[in-house]
Structures are given as structure tokens and as C-alpha cells.
Amino acid sequence: MNVQKTKLPGVLIFEPKVFGDERGFFLETWNEERYAAAGLHAKFVQDNMSFSKKGVLRGLHFQNPNPQGKLVWVVQGEVFDVAVDIRPGSPTRGEWTGVVLSAENRRQFFIPEGFAHGFVVTSESALFVYKCTNLYDSAGDGGLAWNDPDLAIDWPVKNPLVSPKDAAAPRLRDIDPARLAPYRSDS
């Protein structure tokens, strides 16, 4: 397995080893020992899947209390996936990184706890899968504006389809820092 670090500490891109022949292919999407050896020490407690059409943007979402780390990948189609460091006190707060995830490249993206996450579908549709380190908690559900000018995310879709909730999300600078997971220098 190939592991790529990003400019944001803890945000990782995994390229699992694929075994293929004329019949198709096989790959491991999760193996606790193998991923721990590659630097990902996470306990996942919930798996989710979403289906979205071209141009749909979901995010930027976070959860606190009980922040969720997420290991995400695409099993059908293609998305541009983004992680944003929103932790008060973090030296990289307000910075983002993005990666193309697709059924073809089979990459996985790990977004640590305390980060906001979102993606936009760039193919006709996408089937998106993710493992979470904490259970979903509607009371802790939060979001920030996908088009926050302070973040200046370079989304590849200029007029995405967003939910009313995502369209009304505040800018990062307008969110009370007490609402966000704090930065820990040991993370």
C-alpha cells in the first residue's frame, strides 16, 4: 500500500494494493494492522454510503462533541474530496487539501477528527463510502460554508447543487471556537 502525506498533518491518502486479472480485481478496503503500520491508528465504529448525482456538493461538515475521523473512498464514479482544518489553536487552521477519488484510482482519503469534510461529484454520479471513528450525533452536527472566501477552496464545479442546510452554513470565522474540536499538539 502506498501512503501519501498531505500538507495537513494527519490527513492521509492511501492507495491500496490491487490484485487484478482478466476476471476483475480484489483489494482490502480496511485491515487494522496494515493501516496502523502505515500510520493510521483509528477505531472505526460506523460505516456509511451515499449516492449523489453530478454537481452535488456535500459539506463542509463536522461534528462536535464526539468528532468523527473518516476514511472515505468512491466505489462508483468520481469526486473531488476536501478536508479543512477547523481546530482552534491549530497552526494549519483554515487550510484545506483536496484529492480526486474515483472508482478507477481506488484511492482512500483519511480526514482526522476535528476537521471539516466535503466533496463534490465530478462524474455523472458517485457512490461514496466512509468509515467513521465516532457514531453520528445529530446534536453535534455542524457545517461551514462550502464557498467561504477565507478558505478559497478551488472546487472543480462552479455552481454545485447544495442542500438548504449547506447553503445556509456560516463562514469559519463566524463559528464560535467553543463549538469546534480543539487542537491537540499530540494529534
Tell me the catalytic residues: 61, 130
The span from the CA of 28 to the CA of 38, in Å, is 14
Q: How far apart are the first and last CA of the chain?
A: 23
Contact present, 74 and 119 (Cβ < 8 Å): no
